[in-house]
A and B are shown apart, each in its own frame.
Chain A
Amino acid sequence: MSQAIRITTDSEFYQEHTESVELWSPGCPVFPRPQNAAGLDELRIHSGINWLLDSNGRLRAASFTPVAIKTSGGAGFETLSKRASAYLQQHLGEDHKWTIINRAIWASMSANPDNVLLLSDIDSILEPGSSDPHDVLAVIALLSEPSCGLLKMNYRSGSQAGEVSNIEVMKRLRAWWREESITNDEWKAWAGGIVVAWTPVDSKARLQ
């Protein structure tokens, strides 16, 4: 760097999450080169350090905002996010969009008081200008695959306490879509009252 700069972070956040705070200076050989580094454009959109970088990727500011993914005891969302990222890279390839979507999913769950991902959260996960939610759904599909062991899909009835089983949902879907033994209105009334949510399989990762 051509001149000295001072970097600070939120002291309270640093006290609680020392392991999550790192300073990576673009191009500096002192720091390790990340394997899955996001491009500058992606950083600007998806992280709190966007305004730290000028148009040439040089550090320009003297402050730092906390990372989006909180951590707690147990595996922690940061760890799960990294595991998920490696899993997705193996199966979906090295396109950065998967890394961005994955990180946004875990950030969204960590920010939710119940640590769940809801369907409506997909809107906030989508990149500005992107209108296709199916990439997000593809990531959710892979992370929810039983052998992957990262996310679990749950159904909960809005009117009754307790979970609704996948078998019950598929039975109703089949009755409406294939057998036509229930009407459109009956299907909409029932399916509109069942909330679908994804949670981390590792309960230790859940924030209290």
Chain B
Amino acid sequence: MRPQRDSVLALVELMERKAPECLDLFTAQTDEEFEAAFDALLEKAVRHLEKNKVNFSRLNEVGLSAVLAGSLSIPGLSVTQETHSNGHVDISVDAYFCSPARTKLGEAKVYDGPKRHVEGLDQLLGRYTTGREGRGLLIEYFKKKNIKGLVEKLREAMDTDLPLKQKGACQDHKLKWSFITTHRHDSGEELDVGHIGCNLHVGEPGDE
């Protein structure tokens, strides 16, 4: 059967071609199903950034998050951003096709050490999150080299300090250079936050 060109069938086939995980996401019935599908979509968007990092080398966190938003958005799933003067970018993920609709909040910034990372986490958990949203998102664009070592140091610092009522040590994330923390929130809920590393280091000639 040849699908009608303007039909739901044609739209779903377009989405499936972009990423089958879109359909996993829209049909998710549990938080776990939704997060698993979103992680898969996010991984593709992060890989797109990393693959084209030379082209994006001049972009700041706003420009980089804009590329991420363009990669992730598809009818039923919108990714938007609000810029703040302190170098942070608020990201909002709205899956408005899901029933019930699901929202994720995030922060994005160029990595500048554990202290600045925790400031971003504070902003995410303290100011914007109500406790109703899904797992939070903290995206770090690493322009420095050795993302592996930097993420390990960041995890160690967080495991030592347990900032923002962090409950226990960092957990592994499905994505590379990424991890998950759990925090006691003022709402009484325990909220997970995914810390996502994106390797945008562009080596200079003579770089070791």
Contact = CB atoms under 8 A, between A and B. Distances in A.
Contacts of B78: 141-142, 144-145, 148
Interface string A72-102: 0000000000000000001111010010000
A138 B23 contact: no
Nearest to B59: A93
Contacts of A148: 78
Contact of B7 (A134, A171, A174, A192): A192
A98 B66 CA distance: 11
A126 interface: no
Interface in A96-148: 98, 118-120, 133-135, 137-138, 140-142, 144-148
B99 A167 contact: yes
A201 to B, nearest CB: 14
A187 to B, nearest CB: 8
Contact size class for B?
35 or more
B128 interface: no
A170 B6 contact: no
A195 B99 contact: no
A119 B27 contact: no
A170 B70 contact: no
B140 to A, nearest CB: 19
A133 B67 CA distance: 16
Contacts of B98: 170
Contact of A146 (B3, B6, B26, B96): B96
A170 B99 contact: yes
Most A C-beta atoms less than 10 A away, residue of B4, B23, B26, B62: B4
Nearest to A87: B80
Contacts of A90: 80-81
A140 to B, nearest CB: 6
A6 interface: no
A134 B77 contact: no
B152 to A, nearest CB: 32
A189 B9 CA distance: 9
Contacts of B5: 118-120
Contacts of B11: 119, 196
Given A137-B75, A173-B27, A193 B96 contact: no
A118 B29 CA distance: 29
A153 B75 CA distance: 9
A110 B71 CA distance: 27
A119 to B, nearest CB: 5
A169 interface: yes
A154 B5 CA distance: 15
B76 interface: yes
A68 interface: no
A138 B74 contact: yes
B26 A170 contact: yes
A141 B75 contact: yes
A191 B7 contact: yes
Nearest to B66: A93
B186 to A, nearest CB: 24
Interface of B: 1, 3-12, 14, 18, 23-24, 26-27, 29, 62-63, 66-67, 69-71, 73-81, 94, 96-99
Interface of A: 90-93, 95, 98, 118-120, 133-135, 137-138, 140-142, 144-148, 153, 155, 158, 166-167, 169-171, 173-174, 177-178, 185, 187-189, 191-197
13 contacts: A91-B66, A91-B80, A93-B66, A118-B5, A134-B14, A141-B78, A145-B78, A170-B27, A174-B27, A192-B8, A193-B4, A195-B4, A197-B6
